[in-house]
Copies of this chain bind each other. A is one copy, B any other.
């Protein structure tokens, strides 16, 4: 287990895909933020505004970045990056607990 200290947490969740994907926003003292989220098994597509670092704390998934024909299998302890103003397809194989960092 690890912790984020001295942060602000938004009480209300972000809910996507009928609740199969949910997340909560954590804002740091410097104004940067991350979301901590859960993805239930299923297939989803997400768009990005900022670039993102997706860290997988639990579960298994496969992802494919926009413009890439290759799917990548990853699991707990691994991560991937998504460019800004792009998108990615994701297949959740086993429930995923993730931390998404929004990069400038």
Interface residues of A (CB under 8 A from B): 1-13, 15, 18-19, 22, 24, 26-27, 36, 38, 40, 57-58, 95, 97, 99
Contact = CB atoms under 8 A, between A and B. Distances in A.
14 contacts: A3-B10, A4-B8, A6-B6, A6-B7, A6-B8, A7-B7, A7-B8, A15-B38, A18-B95, A19-B40, A22-B38, A24-B24, A24-B36, A40-B40
A22 B36 CA distance: 12
Contacts of A7: 6-9
Grouping DSSP codes into helix (H, G, I), strand (E, B) and loop, the A interface class, with mixed when no group exceeds half, is strand
Contacts of A5: 8
Given A19-B40, A22-B38, A24-B24, A12 B58 contact: yes
B12 A4 contact: no
